[in-house]
Amino acid sequence: MTKDFFDKTEQVEMNLKKYQLAGISFLVINVAYVIIAWWKMPPVDLVMSKMVYGGFIIFIIIILILTPLIFYGKKLLVQVLTFIYGGRAIFSIYSIIGGDVFPAVPYLLPCVVLTFYLLGRAAWNWL
Task: Please report whether residue 100 resides in a domain.
Answer: yes
Task: Please report whether residue 96 resides in a domain.
Answer: yes
Task: Please report whether residue 8 resides in a domain.
Answer: no
SS3 9: helix
Task: Please report whether residue 86 resides in a domain.
Answer: yes
Closest CA to 82 of 41, 50, 119, 27: 119
DSSP state, 89?
Answer: H
pLDDT string in tens for the chain (127-residue length): 556 645 554 455 667 899 999 999 999 999 999 999 989 888 888 888 888 889 989 999 999 999 999 999 999 999 999 999 999 999 999 999 988 888 889 999 999 999 999 999 999 988 7
Q: Say how many domains are in the chain.
A: 1
Domain containing 55: what range? 18-38+48-124
The span from the CA of 112 to the CA of 30, in Å, is: 8
The 10s digit of each residue's pLDDT in 25-44 is 999 999 999 999 989 888 88
pTM over 0.95: no
Task: Please report whether residue 10 resides in a domain.
Answer: no
Residue 86 in contact with residue 95, Cβ under 8 Å? no
